[in-house]
Amino acid sequence: YIEESKKILPHATVFHQIEGGNHAGFGMYGKQKGELEANISPRDQQDEIIRTMNAWLMKIDFIIMKAVEQTQQLFLYVKIKES
């Protein structure tokens, strides 16, 4: 399913496969029809999801902070140039 999804998602989409996990462990809503058994506990799967999302959010936060910093520098430059 992941390979098929890549075609319709943005180029910058980040994929992370949880080895031994399954869909039910992602959502914590129990086994789904036709789903394979997980080789890791739902708790371990949730912990990996949290670590992965946290790392991604930290990266996004860093990019946003850099963009704000560059915008502030540009604004300061323009303000000085106008004086």
- 39-57 per-position pLDDT tens digit: 999 999 999 999 999 898 8
In angstroms, the CA 61 to CA 59 distance is: 5
Structure tokens at 71: 């915008």
Q: Nearest CA to 40 among 66, 58, 17? A: 17
Mean pLDDT on 10-39? 86
Mean pLDDT on 52-66? 86
> Which pTM value belongs to this model?
0.65
Confidence of residue 77 (pLDDT cuts 50, 70, 90): low
In angstroms, the CA 51 to CA 53 distance is: 6
In angstroms, the CA 83 to CA 67 distance is: 24
Q: What pLDDT, on a 0 to 100 scale, did the predictor assign at position 1?
A: 67
In angstroms, the CA 75 to CA 1 distance is: 46
